[in-house]
Amino acid sequence: MEIITRQANANRAAEHWALNYADDLGLSNDPFLIGPGEDTDSPAGIHKRLVALGPTPKPADIDNIIGNKSWTTGQLQCDECKRPAKATVEIGGQVHEDQQSSTLCVRCIRKALALLEATL
């Protein structure tokens, strides 16, 4: 069970980028090592720029490097009511790693709690 916010997504962006692109790069020991003059828009170059932002980057900086907001807004839509939310909780798995998990907003959590308590 994990809380998801734009900031939490931003904090994990470099790590998740590495996980997503490690295999695709097909390089050896350090697939994210790029030299001077190499393409900074390649997966390796983008990873290096994400890491350079530090452990708590501004979500907007992540968006600018990647070119869209999908990496900072991922899982900020409730699986129950389908509405966007500023914060959600993922239940049933690790963030971004378990297809069986559900992401719920506070309104739906409260509703579920009320329904559950009414049956006890």
Residues that bind Zn ion (CB under 5 A): 78, 80-81, 105, 108
In the complex, the smallest distance separating the C-beta of residue 7 from Zn ion, rounded to whole angstroms, is 20
End-to-end C-alpha distance for the chain, whole angstroms: 23
* Complex with Zn ion: residue 27 or 83, whichever CB lies closer: 83
In the complex, the smallest distance separating the C-beta of residue 105 from Zn ion, rounded to whole angstroms, is 4
Provide the b/e sequence for 58-86 (b: ≥16 CB within 10 Å): ebebbbebbeebebbebbbebeeeeeebe
* Complex with Zn ion: residue 22 or 109, whichever CB lies closer: 109
* Complex with Zn ion: residue 64 or 86, whichever CB lies closer: 86
Which residue's CB comes closest to Zn ion?
A: 78
In the complex, the smallest distance separating the C-beta of residue 88 from Zn ion, rounded to whole angstroms, is 8
- SS3 category, 74: coil
In the complex, the smallest distance separating the C-beta of residue 111 from Zn ion, rounded to whole angstroms, is 8
* Complex with Zn ion: residue 44 or 104, whichever CB lies closer: 104
CA 30 to chain centre: 23
Torsion angle of the four alpha carbons 47, 89, 100, 17, in this order, in degrees rounded to the nearest 10:
0
